[in-house]
A and B are shown apart, each in its own frame.
Chain A
């Protein structure tokens, strides 16, 4: 369960969030589309508790422990192996020592990275680093996943794989919030769609029966008019 109520935040004179409210139940995936600088990253950071909003509040049941964070960067230590990274993050998220090994094996298996576990992160390709970052975000079995531009830098096949994985995660009853500037990516995952412009949600509704092309069209209109 995730709730945002009247979020507002500014950086100097730039309004990054302006009266953003929504709430999501398990199994819902909100895709936030918006041009660069619309405030998508700020929104995710507020939801993750990285930024305290100047007004309004965000609430995730279970707190930080329930959130899986996938930011612009992998958050992984290059000189630690994938397994060591997972072990470190699992410990930070309070996964008991005895559970960490099996949990890491499970997540790595799911992401098809079992054979890469002992490799240091710096030696991995961009696509594999992104997968390792997702493994890190899943290590503590979070009920909410926050993803900031997760498709950036992935080739066509890798992006398709990621979409399939995220679909599975949604199916498991997790809440996903996905921010991207590219509507084509991620639109088929969404149960709910929001368009953000200059900090505001100019549109926020269930996807319903609309297909990708209709949403792209609606986005063009919402972001370009006025």
Chain B
């Protein structure tokens, strides 16, 4: 187990160094997030619907799209000079490869969300101060779910035609349960309702994470090994 984690960290660290060095992908994702939030501002009638009612949907649709964008490039990195082939020829275990890519993706999406959340608060004047910690917790729970499935699928779509289109088509149905849970919990948090009202959805989010992280850890090797 310690060995698996150590190997995963080698892969994740390499991805993070690469990501930080090139930065283009990360910056693009951040700018994209800001743009989607702006689009939402103009895509609604402020006189008809109170912002606070729309806020959870705005936040989560934005995060869903941003995550998708981030996940699309996850394995693109490994196609350059056929690096993936080298990884597979090395003693690196497949589970470690999956976890390593997953951790790097998680960090990538987290950075985008860390910029997106303050922008969201700024643009839509949503009071999050008192619920910031639980809100971050929900974002973390849902993001783990997004990334667990997204990392698995992005390893498949890189070798298909129309990879950029294929990932959203395959992935979006899988993002529905975490999305539903996250939107509902966020709405209750923003309405200052007690956390006990969200227990059902929180359980859903946690169960989804556990099931899909485990399932993807088992299935991942079938996507890379011939």
Cβ B90 vs Cβ A74 within 8 A: no
Which residues of A45-81 have CB atoms within 8 Å of chain B's CB atoms?
45, 48-52, 63-65, 67, 69, 71-80
Bound Cα distance from A225 to B21, whole angstroms:
55
Identify which of B17, B85, B87, B226 contacts A84 (C-beta below 8 A).
B17
Q: Find the A residue at minimum CB distance from B6.
A: A91
Q: Find the B residue at minimum CB distance from A75.
A: B86
**How many B residues touch the partner, as a band?**
20 to 34
Cβ A77 vs Cβ B18 within 8 A: yes
Flag whether A94 is at the interface (Cβ < 8 A).
yes
Cβ A63 vs Cβ B80 within 8 A: no
Cβ B82 vs Cβ A74 within 8 A: yes
Flag whether A93 is at the interface (Cβ < 8 A).
yes
Identify which of A64, A71, A84 contacts B90 (C-beta below 8 A).
A64
Q: Mark B64-108, 1 if CB is under 8 A from A, else 0.
A: 000000000000010011110111111110000000000000000
Chain B residues within an 8 Å CB radius of A65: 91
Q: Find the A residue at minimum CB distance from B225.
A: A52
Q: Could you tell me the distance in whole angstroms from the C-beta of A101 to the nearest C-beta in chain B? A: 16
Q: Find the A residue at minimum CB distance from B85.
A: A71
Cβ B81 vs Cβ A77 within 8 A: yes
Cβ A93 vs Cβ B90 within 8 A: yes
Flag whether A88 is at the interface (Cβ < 8 A).
yes
Flag whether A89 is at the interface (Cβ < 8 A).
yes
- Size of the A side of the interface (Cβ < 8 Å), in residues, is 30
Q: Could you tell me the distance in whole angstroms from the C-beta of A57 to the nearest C-beta in chain B? A: 15
Q: Mark A33-55, 1 if CB is under 8 A from B, else 0.
A: 00000000000010011111000
Flag whether B14 is at the interface (Cβ < 8 A).
yes
Flag whether A136 is at the interface (Cβ < 8 A).
yes
Bound Cα distance from A46 to B7, whole angstroms:
24
Q: Find the B residue at minimum CB distance from A52.
A: B226
Q: A72-B82, A73-B82 are contacts. A79–B18 as well, Cβ < 8 Å?
A: yes
Bound Cα distance from A76 to B85, whole angstroms:
10
Cβ B89 vs Cβ A50 within 8 A: yes
Bound Cα distance from A68 to B85, whole angstroms:
12
Flag whether A14 is at the interface (Cβ < 8 A).
no
Flag whether B22 is at the interface (Cβ < 8 A).
yes
Q: A72-B82, A77-B14, A77-B81 are contacts. A49–B89 as well, Cβ < 8 Å?
A: yes
Which residues of B197-226 have CB atoms within 8 Å of chain A's CB atoms?
225-226
Q: Could you tell me the distance in whole angstroms from the C-beta of A206 to the nearest C-beta in chain B? A: 28
Cβ A73 vs Cβ B81 within 8 A: yes
Q: List 27 A-B contacts (CB under 8 A).
A: A45-B226, A49-B89, A50-B88, A50-B226, A51-B226, A64-B90, A64-B91, A69-B90, A73-B82, A73-B85, A74-B81, A75-B87, A77-B83, A78-B80, A79-B18, A80-B14, A80-B17, A80-B18, A80-B21, A84-B17, A88-B14, A92-B10, A92-B11, A92-B87, A93-B90, A94-B91, A136-B86
Which residues of chain A have a CB within 8 Å of any CB of chain B?
A: 45, 48-52, 63-65, 67, 69, 71-80, 84, 88-89, 91-94, 121, 136
Which residues of chain B have a CB within 8 Å of any CB of chain A?
A: 7, 10-11, 14, 17-18, 21-22, 77, 80-83, 85-92, 225-226
Q: Considering the complex of A and B, which 10 residue pairs feature the smallest CB-CB distances, nearest first?
A: A75-B86, A73-B82, A69-B89, A64-B91, A51-B226, A48-B89, A92-B90, A74-B81, A91-B10, A73-B81
